A and B are shown apart, each in its own frame.
Chain A
Amino acid sequence: MPELNLVEAVNAALAFEMAADENVVVLGEDVGVNGGVFRATVGLQERFGEQRVLDTPLAEALIAGLSVGMASQGLRPVAEIQFMGFIYPTVDQMLNHASRLRNRTRGRLTCPMVLRAPYGGGIHAPEHHSESYESMFAHIPGLRVVIPSSPARAYGLLLAAIRDPDPVVFLEPKRIYRLMKQEVEDNGASLPLDTCYTLREGTDVTLVSWGAMLHETQQAADQLEAEGVGAEVIDVACLKPIDTRTILDSVAKTGRCVIVHEAARTSGLGAEIAAQIAEHGLMNLYAPVQRVTGYDTVMPLYRLEGYYLPGVERIVTAVRQVMEFS
């Protein structure tokens, strides 16, 4: 079984599905000869040709809009936006069109497209390259928002996203693109969408996170275990539609919940999760739900990004606080 890092797993999933389904077309800026600035599409144009791996003009709204048109004709476009910082011109297309086409036409036209983008901080990137605005997309009805946290998850979830009959925003945590290698069987097996993944079982506190932050969250769980605190770690993975059942069941068991995300706190997805727990699981709680998140500030340039991104210590501190309630 090959050992792949996350970006290699993305590449493997793309290659597998392009070979399996000629309707799959990759498009974006520099995805062709260059193989993408992170090399997620490396080798694909060579293997599948220029018709199936399209270098587009430098226009993000176009990339999303083209994908809507292609998808309406039964193609399965997988569009890359180079960095999430450049994704905002696509919001018009994703919100007004991709997410609504099926509903508007009562199912006559559909939009099976994937919009991929690397997102998040921690790689000392230039300005506008490090933000986490996943909750903005998670607010849009009709979309799916998927974030992998490991190479295996990236492979299986991306395949599921491409095969999904509806539009998916697939955000790749670029900080962990090359952080770890994992054995990933390149057999085309997808993973289910619309479900959380429980990465670790525990009885004292539920830690809920997604993407790169799961790395710190797992480290925090290790540290807490040494202190005698059993943390259950949930990878949300599919932020829209969100599987609140798994989270609520876990919180019913542990009675404590700490939500960890890199995005700014206010109106981040943590707020929705906390609200769901308040609505459906309040009586199971021993302690108030805590959020460990980025601050409500502009994402700082890279000299200060380490202060912005939640670290292991902040997560552990929050858990110690909720553990004071019993």
Chain B
Amino acid sequence: MSTEKPIVDEKDLECVAKFEVRFTGYLDKDGSAVRRLPEIADLPDALIALYRSMVLTRTFDQKAIALQRTGNLGTYASSLGQEAVFAALGAVMRPEDVLVPYYREYGTQLMRGVTMTELFLYWGGDERGMDYAGPRQDFPICVPIATQVPHAAGVALAMKYRGEPRVAVTVFGDGATSKGEFYEAANAAGVWNLPLVLLVNNNQWAISVPRSEQSACQTLAQKAIAAGISGEQVDGNDAIAMFDRLSAAVDKARNGGGPSLVEAITYRLSDHTTADDASRYRRDEEIKTHWDYEPIKRLRQYMIAKQYWDSQQDEALQQTCRREVEEAAQAYLNTAPQKPESMFDYLYETLPETLRSQRDELATTEQQSRA
């Protein structure tokens, strides 16, 4: 057998598919425009709403960690450094849309009407923290990675089935894109052209595993292409870019254009959760470098340069946020615990007869321990 000459020259073969992944960013790390800006960049009210959400989220985050450190909250997952991603998502979604989150999207949730007290209750070990008074159809925080992505596809399927101009949005981290359920849902969304937006919060770390060890893919956005849907990368620390691209994705879904995936490039400035110690696997210098790119300062500098904002307003906002967070924390700390029997009360619509004796057993034990 001769190995000298290939039978077919690759160049002669027809290219049957070709893909590209685009990256969008408008502001540099100091908040200066690097290209012509989209419309929102000249809408001070819209920018201030984003900024307010980001500051509030960070203030909430600090308080949550303080509560955890003082034994007043359970394990908590911070959103530090990723606030622009979630503020932008909250701004582009409509109340009738459905958010299917993982566990860092406080900015989005708060903009949608979830209360900080509810979020504190959740991390403080109380199921009532998932009974959102505001967005009644939003899913609660999802802990098992990527398992919520099919839920969002199912929600989108229901919306499409009923012909409603609504959109389901799900958020997950870089690690989630290694899981089957992410791909299964993205693939199905493509087949059925569902009104679904998949938002990857690529914060570079899945607990201790860096992005480079998560996948050999150049981008996570290209995984969407494998599922037959569009995928793009966005600077996740640039609130203007996130707003611009997420609103395009949500509009497209709402208008029958089908699903898309947005990969937000951001950075987890915090530990994975309060139960994690990132110094075991991550160098301090790396974190320091990324503080230079953090989103709040960047948007503030842009707004100040445009004279949409000043330091006095900033101080007032910080104070308001601190006050709101303190009030929510107090409300949380003052919330009486649920009755132990409540663990039976939402298991089924009606408690099956066979479980009544267990409920009674618990209620009796509780009375005895109080007596």
Contact = CB atoms under 8 A, between A and B. Distances in A.
Interface of A: 25, 51, 54, 56-57, 59, 61-62, 64-75, 77, 89, 92-93, 96-97, 102-110, 141-142, 144, 165-166, 194, 241-245
B128 A65 contact: no
A96 B144 CA distance: 8
A311 B131 CA distance: 50
A93 B156 CA distance: 18
Interface of B: 98, 100, 127-128, 130-132, 136-137, 139-140, 144, 147-159, 161, 168, 180-181, 184-185, 187-188, 191-192, 343, 346-349, 352-355
Given A68-B154, A73-B158, A61 B180 contact: yes
Given A62-B181, A73-B137, A104-B127, 7 more contacts: A62-B188, A65-B153, A65-B181, A74-B158, A106-B127, A194-B353, A194-B354
B345 to A, nearest CB: 8
A233 to B, nearest CB: 21
Contacts of A73: 98, 137, 154-155, 158-159
A207 B173 CA distance: 52
Q: Is the interface of A mostly helix, strand, loop or mixed?
A: mixed
A62 B153 contact: yes
Contacts of B347: 102-103, 141-142
Q: Which of B150, B180, B188, B191 has the most chain A CB within a 10 Å cutoff?
A: B150
Contacts of A89: 180
A61 B181 contact: yes
Nearest to B156: A69
A57 B137 contact: no
A245 B158 contact: no
Contact of A70 (B137, B149, B155): B155
Contacts of A144: 348
Nearest to A51: B161
Contacts of A67: 154
A65 B185 contact: yes
B153 A66 contact: yes
17 contacts: A59-B180, A61-B150, A65-B153, A65-B184, A68-B150, A71-B154, A72-B139, A72-B151, A72-B158, A73-B98, A73-B159, A96-B144, A102-B347, A102-B348, A105-B127, A105-B140, A106-B130
A70 B161 CA distance: 10
B354 A241 contact: yes
A317 to B, nearest CB: 31
Contacts of A141: 347
A70 B157 contact: yes
Nearest to A112: B349
A244 B354 contact: yes
Contacts of A108: 130-132, 136
Contact of B151 (A25, A74, A97, A166): A97
